[in-house]
Amino acid sequence: MPTTIAITGKGGTGKTVVSALTVLTLVEHNWCPLLAVDADPNLNLDAALGLKVEATVGGVREEAGSRRRAEPGGMSTAEFLEYRIHQALLEAEGFDLLAMGRPEGPGCYCYANEILRGALDRLTAAYRAIVVDCEAGLEHFSRRTAGDLDLLLILSDPTTRGLETARRVLDLLTEVRTKVGESKVVLNRVRGEPPASLRERADRLGFPIAAWLPEDEQVRALDAAGRPLTELGPDSPLRVAVTNLYMDCGLIG
């Protein structure tokens, strides 16, 4: 069974940046083969990793849904789906990337979804680690489009309001259908010394802050230039902090 890590949080808290650095860090520490999953319909994990997605699981589902169950003389829908999913898989150095794309539109997708789930289960079983860049919100955990997770990082900005949102996410986790092994609240874009007041607030809210990720000028510069995070130097403060986070989690030595 692969080890699955998902990164969630409010819009703009750094999910895609931290997901991309998680992929690069784990691959660097030989967590191979690794599958990166972009579960945000807005698709930006590919650009962060210097790739360009052409096809998504949602697109394959649409195509399969508009097909008849078995085209005479052709592939069955199940064979077709399996084939197209493998085509949608982007191969990069040390990892593959799969983009989920849009959730299903109106119409009946039961049959397509059923075989899709089987195809995805078979595909993901072949990996040692899976890293999921989530869309903001917990809907996909309720819909159970995400499989069970070993580790969930809940990203927040370093504000009291951000911590309160993280508390709500932790509470919601007890209601969703996805099983979550461990969940950790991580503050991102912290400038300077972490303020003691936030640590105290988190204490009062009943959870520890697992990591403080710094505001990183190198990340900002790459973003402004439209360059991928694969070009980030090994001394980037955010990269170092993400490595330390996975060391603390015991995932890398």
Ligand X SMILES: Nc1ncnc2c1ncn2[C@@H]1O[C@H](COP(=O)(O)OP(=O)(O)OP(=O)(O)O)[C@@H](O)[C@H]1O
Interface with ligand X (CB under 6 A): 9, 11-17, 40, 136, 188-189, 213, 215-216, 219-220, 223, 238
3-state secondary structure of 92: coil
Residues 2-31 binding Mg ion (CB under 5 A) are 15-16
Question: For Mg ion, which is the closer residue by CB, 15 or 140?
Answer: 15
How many residues bind Mg ion (CB under 5 A)? The answer is 2
According to DSSP, the residues that pair with 153 across neighbouring strands are 7, 184
Report the nearest approach of Mg ion to the CB of residue 223 (Å).
12
Closest by Cα among 71, 75, 58, 72 to 112: 58
* Token reading at 81: 């789906």
Distance separating alpha carbons of residues 114 and 211, to the nearest angstrom? 38
Phi, psi at residue 98, to the nearest 5°?
-125, 130
Signed CA dihedral, 238, 241, 245, 246: sign only: positive
Report the nearest approach of ligand X to the CB of residue 195 (Å).
16
Q: Using CB distances below 5 to 8 A depending on partner kind, what does residue 219 bind out of Mg ion, ligand X, none? A: ligand X
Report the nearest approach of ligand X to the CB of residue 11 (Å).
4
Q: Using CB distances below 5 to 8 A depending on partner kind, what does residue 8 bind out of ligand X, Mg ion, none? A: none
Q: Which residues bind Mg ion (CB under 5 A)?
A: 15-16
